[in-house]
Amino acid sequence: MSNFIYNSYCVEHPGVVRIYQADDERMAAIAASHQARTQSRWMVLAVVLAALAAGIYQATETWSDGHMLAAWIVLWAMAFASVALFTTPVRRAINMVRTGYRAWIGSRQQAAADERIWNAALQDARLMADLARAMDRQNS
């Protein structure tokens, strides 16, 4: 007589798996198109500002002391262009920091829960036996 049962049949329906995969692919495509749309908007803004700066520079060339105004316009156009270029890496870094912080909070909560269970196990022999068996299974 055997001590275990080995199920060789599939526990997930292939059609359901395909539906979930198609849904994940669709959501990834939507996210990629949204990101591309957002990047293109920033780039269009940067190009428009650069063209505006060039046009204003040409208009102020005939003025006396127009160079300071043109320099400020070019400086602001460069600032907006740099914001447009560095938006994605900054957003990626912020998401990485946020994910790390959430993982740290989760690990701290898990450590506090483990501490509470251990303190309860010190008072209850049955709970301590369960923990010992679980630790033995984890080590082997």
How far apart (Å, rounded) are the C-alpha atoms in residues 28 and 33? 9
pLDDT, tens digit, for every residue of 55-105?
666 665 555 555 666 677 777 777 777 777 777 787 888 899 999 999 999
Q: What is the pLDDT of residue 111?
A: 93
Q: Is 44 exposed, middle or buried (0-12, 13-18, 19+ CB in 10 A)?
A: exposed
How far apart (Å, rounded) are the C-alpha atoms in residues 49 and 110? 51
The predicted model scores a pTM of 0.41
Q: Give 10's pLDDT tier (boundaries 50, 70, 90).
A: low
Tell me the Ramachandran region of residue 5: left when phi exceeds 0, alpha when psi lies from -120 to 50, beta otherwise.
beta
Residue 48: pLDDT over 60? yes
